[in-house]
Amino acid sequence: MTCFKYQITDTSTPTTETFVWFDTKDFLLRRITTKDGVNTSDMTLSYDKVSISTPSPVKSSSSSSDNTVPTQAQIDAAMQAAQDANANQ
């Protein structure tokens, strides 16, 4: 695989040498190396194929289908119920 190789320079860590490789086809990160005089790291990355299918239809509840906004009293009651449930745990 052909890659672009870049050196990363961080002025706050001048003794650290870091390189990254991106493939020239998909521009995905493929490798990272870092040397700081004491430690060395060399990571190679690979990517599996992903398959995403359309989800099955979701049944809407009657309360969400009418597009109504809850009242402040309903919000307050829900908040109080949640606080009461947490207090009982």
Q: What digits encode the pLDDT tens for the residues 17-68?
A: 999 999 999 999 999 999 998 999 999 999 999 898 888 887 766 554 556 7
In 3-state terms, what secondary structure has residue 69?
A: coil
Higher pLDDT, 87 or 4: 4
- CA atoms of 16 and 8, how far apart (whole Å): 9
Say how far residue 14 (Cα) sits from the centre of its chain. Answer: 30
- Give the pLDDT band (50/70/90) at residue 12: very high
* β-sheet with 29-35: strand ranges across: 3-8, 17-23, 29-35, 40-44
Residue spans of beta strands (DSSP E) within the chain: 3-8, 17-23, 29-35, 40-44
User: Which residue in the block uniquely carries the two structure tokens 């390189």?
Assistant: 19
Residue 25's pLDDT is 95
Residue 27's pLDDT is 95
Residue 5's pLDDT is 98
